[in-house]
Amino acid sequence: FPVTILSNRAPVELSISRERKVIPVPHVTEEELSNYRFYHEYMWKRKLTKRVVDYFDVGYDATKNCLTFPVRDVNGVPRFIQRRGVENKYFHTGEDSYKGKYIYGLYEASLNPDLTCVITEAPIDALTAWTRGYAGLATLGLPITEEQIRILSKYSARMYIIGTDNDWAGNKAVHTLRKMGKILYRMQMNGKKYLNDMSDDDWENVELTFVS
């Protein structure tokens, strides 16, 4: 048999890495959530009910003077908290929250599949829809991401009502949501800008416009 002569290979330095970059997925612990389980009068000022507040574990962060809205993934795991100031329109989710990857209220909607889904921008508007017997879903602001479109497309609902803000950005979101390929209706708010501003009479006479 031929003799094979082995010799040591000289080390080679490469400018690339073999290590896979792992992006951590945010997660909110039960301990942190328990720190915010307080009621605040601003909840009732925005027409939320105790039942809805408890169901969605809405809380109050006294250190930041904000309402807290735990955002859960499709399996019900709280991934991050969106905060809303009680004295001004201040929203904060943190730079590692990946809010464009989640739909607020979708997990709860999956537990109540008989309810019609209403897509909103802010959690308060989504919760307002819940107080009126709808499954409110919030995109946690605009623009709506491609990932959020994918999530809503995969969800079992065949039809959505769009309750985004009654302004230029909210109307532009209607066109974005057409990518889902679902049956869509635009909620008319009788001149109100936000779904949360609608009165009892507005809700009793809700008008919907089919989105072609």
Concatenate the DSSP letters of all residues of 107-145 into one string.
HHHHT-TTSPEEEESSHHHHHHHHHTTSEEEE-SSSSPP
Give CA–CA dist 28/36, Å, rounded.
Answer: 12
Residuewise pLDDT in 10s, the chain (212 residues): 555 555 555 665 655 555 655 556 778 999 999 999 999 999 999 999 999 999 999 999 999 999 999 999 999 999 999 999 999 877 887 766 788 999 999 999 999 999 999 999 999 999 999 999 999 999 999 999 999 999 999 999 999 999 999 999 999 999 999 999 999 999 999 989 999 999 999 999 999 999 97
pLDDT of residue 9: 56
CA nearest to 128, candidates 38, 40, 45 = 45
Tell me, what's the pLDDT at 21? Answer: 57
Type of residue at 18: R
Rg (C-alpha) for the chain, rounded Å, is 23
Which strand ranges, in their side-by-side order, compose the sheet holding 159-162? Answer: 135-138, 117-120, 159-162, 183-188, 207-210
Q: Is 0.85 surpassed by the pTM of this model?
A: yes
| Residue 80 backbone zone (phi > 0: left; psi -120 to 50: alpha; other: beta) | beta
Residues 6+ apart with CB under 8 A from 144: 173, 176, 177
